[in-house]
A and B are shown apart, each in its own frame.
Chain A
């Protein structure tokens, strides 16, 4: 009886949260419903649009992969993402370690300055960077994105890793140094293995950021075969006024849902980065 009363008292909470989540994620639900609709069903204005008045179909997804450049976009995004992750790790790991351990008092300040670079938006830089990309001859290739994206990913990743390295007790390295390891070897043998979860978060963050980026990809690349998903889907799959709605939204949810799931797994670590360490101690 007491349990029942407690459950009853919590009922408004559950109803409220469910309702909010339903409304909030409705665009995604609507996209999923649309993906499997036949044309005749979709463009029929009478009847409940949320139901399948005709049997659901996979034709729209087939059209997406067979008759559009979608697979190419996915491939380009994957290549850009992987290479940018590698560049980011190679540059941000030493930088984060340097700021956390070696740089002493000015390390903290330098870290904050690097973090502030993350706030410099692409919309301020895209015009001069367009000129630079043209001068370097990288225009219309995914290499332009590979060169430019680390400007967004290195600052935040360095900041995240700095916080992470700081949380590892100094004594561990000092013990390794006493054992006769060099500083580099201590870093490689002792610190890196302990930092795998932080590094994984950086990988996830960097990869999703490259998937999100829109304005550089729109500015630097105009040939379809070099486009990435964030620009390719909204610009290439909408032809003039003709919308292949089912394929278009299918293209969006196929990427959105997996990215959402993975992002969610690393959310706490990313929030730590965003709150600038204000919550520690």
Chain B
């Protein structure tokens, strides 16, 4: 019989011996990820809180404790108060519409039909595209003089002299308070809807077929099966989609920054953009950090809810 050389990996040496002990290998494998997260997430979170109670600026980086002075100062500006309200309003308005539309779309996309891959591709596109580039598309769609929507509305007789929306030939979507707010909300909906939809489709297709078949045998109508069986079953998945939507909309700065820069005046200002303007453009790092911290309660609530859901799944 030929002597087969043992492969190098099979020889046990000092290091491979150590690596075979799970109580050593497990932390060793995990350590780099934990170190990265502590250094570049944990430390900055701590710094963000520290900054918010000091007088640090871009010019003067020493940390002198000032208590809640920054919070008081930012609260006194109308821009901040408007940003706080807007962030909440945009998030709630967008998520309500997203969850309704996503359910309708998901029920349709869970069916089999020809050309489904194309429909799925077109629907996912706004989520897959870098959001700043997608928003450029909307900036162009809603342009003050060249918007194609203006042209369509003029053709339909909705815009122009003596029509429903006034004598001008242009809506100027981003130049009026309500329309600009509606536009920002619309772009948020456009962007988050694909994610919610695909999550719900995954939920619907995971429902066991025999459950549905049984309900059909029992004479359940399409609507009855949908509302009595399918939707209750995917409720946890719907909650997950909603929580992600809240985080992605509430903490986003790109849509407002590219679309309106917070304007007209500061009517579409949101917390992340105002934090950027104050902290980076204005150089007041401490106040910028204080503004961003107003995102924290919502994030904490979402994290707690997610943990609870994860625990419930563990039990199941």
A binds B: yes
Q: Enumerate chain A interface residues (CB-CB to B < 8 A).
A: 10, 13-14, 16-17, 20-21, 24-28, 30-31, 34, 42-43, 45, 48-50, 90-92, 94-95, 97-99, 102-103, 107-108, 110, 112, 114, 116-117, 119-132, 147-148, 150-151, 154-155, 158, 180-185, 188-189, 208, 211-212, 214-215, 218-219, 229-231, 233-234, 245, 248-249, 251-253, 255-257, 259-261, 263-264, 267-268, 271-272, 274-279
Is B240 part of the contact surface with A, judged by Cβ < 8 Å? yes
- Select A132's contact among B29, B44, B56, B296, beta carbons within 8 Å: B44
- Known contacts A13-B113, A91-B36, A182-B10; is A259 also within 8 Å of B129 by CB? yes
Within 8 A of A (CB), among B182-215: 190, 195, 198-199, 201-203, 206
Is B120 part of the contact surface with A, judged by Cβ < 8 Å? yes
Bound complex: CA of A256 vs CA of B130, how far in Å?
A: 7
Bound complex: CA of A256 vs CA of B140, how far in Å?
A: 15
- Select A17's contact among B19, B37, B108, B140, beta carbons within 8 Å: B108
- Select A249's contact among B140, B202, B237, beta carbons within 8 Å: B140
Is B276 part of the contact surface with A, judged by Cβ < 8 Å? yes
Q: How far is the CB of B139 from chain A (nearest CB, A)?
A: 8
Instruction: Name the prevailing secondary structure of the A interface residues.
Output: helix
- Known contacts A24-B126, A184-B16, A249-B136; is A127 also within 8 Å of B30 by CB? no
- Select B292's contact among A27, A99, A123, A184, beta carbons within 8 Å: A123
Is B253 part of the contact surface with A, judged by Cβ < 8 Å? yes
- Select B30's contact among A16, A98, A126, beta carbons within 8 Å: A98
Q: Enumerate chain B interface residues (CB-CB to A < 8 A).
A: 6-7, 9-10, 12, 16, 19-20, 22, 25-30, 32-34, 36-37, 40-41, 43-45, 47-48, 51, 56, 61, 105, 108, 111, 113, 118-138, 140-141, 143, 145-146, 148, 151, 169, 190, 195, 198-199, 201-203, 206, 236-237, 240, 244, 247, 251-254, 257-258, 271-272, 275-276, 279-280, 285, 288-289, 292-293, 295-296, 299, 302-303, 306-307, 309-310, 313-314
- Known contacts A24-B122, A182-B19; is A125 also within 8 Å of B45 by CB? yes
Contact B12 A13 (CB under 8 A): no
- The chain A residue with its CB closest to the CB of B252 is A123
- The chain A residue with its CB closest to the CB of B124 is A264
Q: How far is the CB of B105 from chain A (nearest CB, A)?
A: 8
Bound complex: CA of A163 vs CA of B244, how far in Å?
A: 19
Contact A263 B124 (CB under 8 A): yes
Q: Hey, which chain B residues are within 8 Å of A128, CB to CB?
A: 43-45, 47-48, 51, 289
Contact A129 B40 (CB under 8 A): yes
Contact A214 B30 (CB under 8 A): no
Contact A94 B29 (CB under 8 A): yes
Q: Hey, which chain A residues are within 8 Å of B314, CB to CB?
A: 108
Q: Hey, which chain B residues are within 8 Å of A279, CB to CB?
A: 202-203, 206, 237
Bound complex: CA of A263 vs CA of B126, how far in Å?
A: 11
Bound complex: CA of A135 vs CA of B271, how far in Å?
A: 26
Q: Hey, which chain A residues are within 8 Å of B309, CB to CB?
A: 276, 278
Contact B295 A116 (CB under 8 A): no
Contact B126 A127 (CB under 8 A): no
A-B contact pairs, 15 of them (CB 8 A): A25-B122, A27-B134, A31-B136, A94-B28, A94-B32, A98-B25, A117-B37, A125-B48, A131-B56, A218-B257, A219-B276, A249-B140, A259-B129, A264-B128, A271-B198
- Known contacts A182-B16, A264-B121; is A230 also within 8 Å of B9 by CB? no
- Select B295's contact among A26, A95, A123, beta carbons within 8 Å: A123
Contact B240 A260 (CB under 8 A): no
Bound complex: CA of A155 vs CA of B56, how far in Å?
A: 30
Bound complex: CA of A99 vs CA of B30, how far in Å?
A: 8
- Known contacts A127-B280, A185-B10; is A275 also within 8 Å of B199 by CB? yes
Q: How far is the CB of B202 from chain A (nearest CB, A)?
A: 5
Contact A131 B236 (CB under 8 A): no
- Known contacts A17-B108, A274-B240; is A124 also within 8 Å of B299 by CB? yes
Contact A127 B275 (CB under 8 A): yes
Instruction: Name the prevailing secondary structure of the B interface residues.
Output: helix
Contact A42 B247 (CB under 8 A): no
- Known contacts A10-B113, A279-B237; is A184 also within 8 Å of B19 by CB? yes
Contact B313 A277 (CB under 8 A): yes
Among all A-B residue pairs, the 7 with the closest Cβ atoms: A185-B9, A27-B137, A128-B47, A121-B251, A102-B26, A98-B29, A263-B128
Q: Hey, which chain A residues are within 8 Å of B105, CB to CB?
A: 20
Q: Hey, which chain B residues are within 8 Å of A208, CB to CB?
A: 128
Contact B130 A230 (CB under 8 A): yes
Q: Hey, which chain B residues are within 8 Å of A50, CB to CB?
A: 148
Bound complex: CA of A263 vs CA of B130, how far in Å?
A: 11
- Known contacts A123-B275, A275-B240; is A181 also within 8 Å of B10 by CB? yes
- Known contacts A125-B44, A128-B51, A215-B272; is A260 also within 8 Å of B310 by CB? no
Q: Hey, which chain B residues are within 8 Å of A45, CB to CB?
A: 145-146, 169
Q: Hey, which chain B residues are within 8 Å of A263, CB to CB?
A: 124, 127-128
Q: How far is the CB of B6 from chain A (nearest CB, A)?
A: 8
Contact A119 B302 (CB under 8 A): yes
- Select B12's contact among A125, A151, A182, A278, beta carbons within 8 Å: A182
Contact A97 B289 (CB under 8 A): no
- Select B146's contact among A42, A126, A150, A219, beta carbons within 8 Å: A42
Contact A234 B140 (CB under 8 A): no
Q: How far is the CB of A71 from chain B (nearest CB, A)?
A: 16
Q: How far is the CB of B188 from chain A (nearest CB, A)?
A: 14
